Amino acid sequence: MNKLKILKLSSLTLIFVALMSLFGSSMLLADNGNIIKSISEVRVGLDTVWVLIAAFLVFFMQAGFGMVEAGFIRAKNTCNILTKNFLDFCMASIGFFIIGYAVMFGADKFGLLGTTGWFLNGAKSGADIPLFAFWLFQAAFCGAAATIVAGGMAERMKFPAYLIYSLVISALIYPLVGHWIWGGGWLSSLGFADFAGSTVVHSVGGFAALIGTIILKPRTGKFKADGSPNVIAGHSIPLASLGVFILWFGWFGFNPGSTLGVGDGSLIGRVAINTNLAAAAGGIMAMLTVWMIYGKPDLSMAMNGALAGLVAITAPCAFVEPSAAILIGGVGGVLVVMGVILLDRLRIDDPVGAFPVHGINGFWGTLSVGLFGQKALGLAHNGLFLGGGLTQLGIQFLGVSVVAIFVVLSMGGVFKLINATIGLRVSREEELRGLDIGEHGMESYSGFQIIN
């Protein structure tokens, strides 16, 4: 191609670009309102996709809970615990659709509960995304809170009794607490901060598990006559390990998804790194703690330590720097080991550590907002260690304490009522044989049966 042709082509290109620029500018001036509207629609669309992806990740956490709980219990009860996990999400979805969303996000009444939006009729979204997308994200959280209890009451609770419990906590107990904190209720008006659910989700599930397992009493053979505990080993550590990895993965939907929007990505990034660092620190510190006490780096404790770090960082993940997240998660790892030891001394049988992981660390994570949280990152007050005094810490302590008391009293009443009617616990013979056969008429692993 000679120079003349190149020159002509370049000239035509410049003329074309100039015309297109002029045409585009005139269109922008003539239709500025529609362009702005289109940008707004794109933003809402991106936010909606992000929240839905996060909801799918939180839903996948049900598989993680199922694998952890199945791995930490005996083979003869595996089908039973997985059925409970499966039905938890079914019950949560229906209960939260009919009643729960209205109680949690309906028009506020006295700061205690919502009163509009039954069956989602006339309901409004709690974020700048479509109602159905917001509902699905919140329903996934509701299912997570409900399924925490399955592990604490594993290997001896009647299946029909569990279904009743699951519906009550999903439709009423969890949404009431959620309204106080996320639905415009009395705790939110005080400045209580729980970004992704250390209190709303994990303390609710953890304290419900605590009162449930106390009322249900220990598994046969768990404690000796002198009160010292027997080790009842889970049947599959690999299965439990898979569950922990799934939960860790799902938590990247749980915490970052609670931004409820993409924005410029900075908030999502901070929440994600804090989530990961806290989990890593929790796993390391739990392993070191149990290694120092018992002389062996126990894998099951390390895994629960990682989960403890995840639970602890769930409330402060948006309000703290990464260095604080490491400390918060590390303390959580120590607390989960101490919590397991404490329950054994109190003769409370929690087969998977549901209360140490979710109850104790839900409490700790909520308090940590008042210690390490920053006003510059969205809090009403700086935390104690950043010169803010005791104000935010006091609000956090009040909120999580009230929630713990409410859950223990309300769920204690529910469990007592169930026990007085259809009964909570299977017979001794059925417990020894295994709930898979007694409750479901099937074996998790066909061809053999474990009786111990």
Q: What is the pLDDT of residue 311?
A: 98
Average pLDDT on 283-307 reads 98
Q: What is the pLDDT of residue 388?
A: 95
Q: What is the pLDDT of residue 40?
A: 86
CATH of the domain at 63: 1.10.3430.10
Cα angle for residues 341, 347, 351 (degrees, 5° grid): 70
Contact 310, 261 (CB under 8 A): no
Contact 77, 435 (CB under 8 A): yes
Q: What is the pLDDT of residue 93?
A: 97
Residue 226 lies in a domain: no
Q: What is the pLDDT of residue 22?
A: 42
pLDDT surpassing 50 at residue 301:
yes
Q: What is the pLDDT of residue 412?
A: 98
435 Cβ contact partners less than 8 Å away, ≥ 6 residues apart: 76, 77, 79, 80, 155, 156, 159, 426
Residue 153 lies in a domain: yes
Q: What is the pLDDT of residue 362?
A: 98
Residue 223 lies in a domain: no
Q: What is the pLDDT of residue 8?
A: 45
The span from the CA of 372 to the CA of 386, in Å, is 7
The 10s digit of each residue's pLDDT in 112-162 is 999 999 999 999 999 999 999 999 999 999 999 999 999 999 999 999 999
Lowest mean pLDDT among 20-34, 205-219, 295-309: 20-34
Q: What are the counts of helices (DSSP H) followed by strands (DSSP E) for the chain?
A: 18, 2
User: Which DSSP symbol is given to 195?
Assistant: S
Residue 351 lies in a domain: yes
Q: Residue 446 — very low, low, confident or very high, per pLDDT cuts 50/70/90?
A: confident
- Residue in 114, 133, 122, 6 with CA at minimum distance from that of residue 58: 133
Average pLDDT on 51-64 reads 98
Residue 224 lies in a domain: no
Average pLDDT on 423-448 reads 92
Residue 16 lies in a domain: no
Average pLDDT on 167-188 reads 98
Measured from the Cβ of residue 163, the count of other Cβ atoms closer than 10 Å reads: 16
The 10s digit of each residue's pLDDT in 66-119 is 999 999 999 999 999 999 999 999 999 999 999 999 999 999 999 999 999 999
Q: What is the pLDDT of residue 293?
A: 97
Q: What is the pLDDT of residue 19?
A: 40
Q: What is the pLDDT of residue 449?
A: 53
Q: What is the pLDDT of residue 435?
A: 96
Q: Residue 193 — very low, low, confident or very high, per pLDDT cuts 50/70/90?
A: very high
Residue 197 lies in a domain: yes
Which element (helix H / strand E) includes 270? helix 266-294
Q: What is the pLDDT of residue 31?
A: 57
Residue 123 lies in a domain: yes
pLDDT surpassing 90 at residue 451:
no
Average pLDDT, rounded, for the chain: 92
Average pLDDT on 432-438 reads 95
Q: What is the pLDDT of residue 244?
A: 98
Q: What is the b/e burial string over 377-412, where b = at least 16 CB atoms within 10 angstroms of the residue's CB?
A: eebebbbbebebeeebbebbbebbebbbebbbebbb
Percent of the chain with pLDDT over 90: 88
pLDDT surpassing 50 at residue 183:
yes
pLDDT surpassing 50 at residue 29:
no
Q: What is the pLDDT of residue 32?
A: 61
Q: What is the pLDDT of residue 33?
A: 64
- Residue in 79, 87, 105, 59 with CA at minimum distance from that of residue 161: 87
Q: Residue 290 — very low, low, confident or very high, per pLDDT cuts 50/70/90?
A: very high
Q: What is the pLDDT of residue 28?
A: 42
Q: What is the pLDDT of residue 353?
A: 97
Overall number of domains in the chain: 1
Contact 305, 364 (CB under 8 A): no
Q: In terms of residue numbers, what domain contains 253?
A: 32-217+236-440
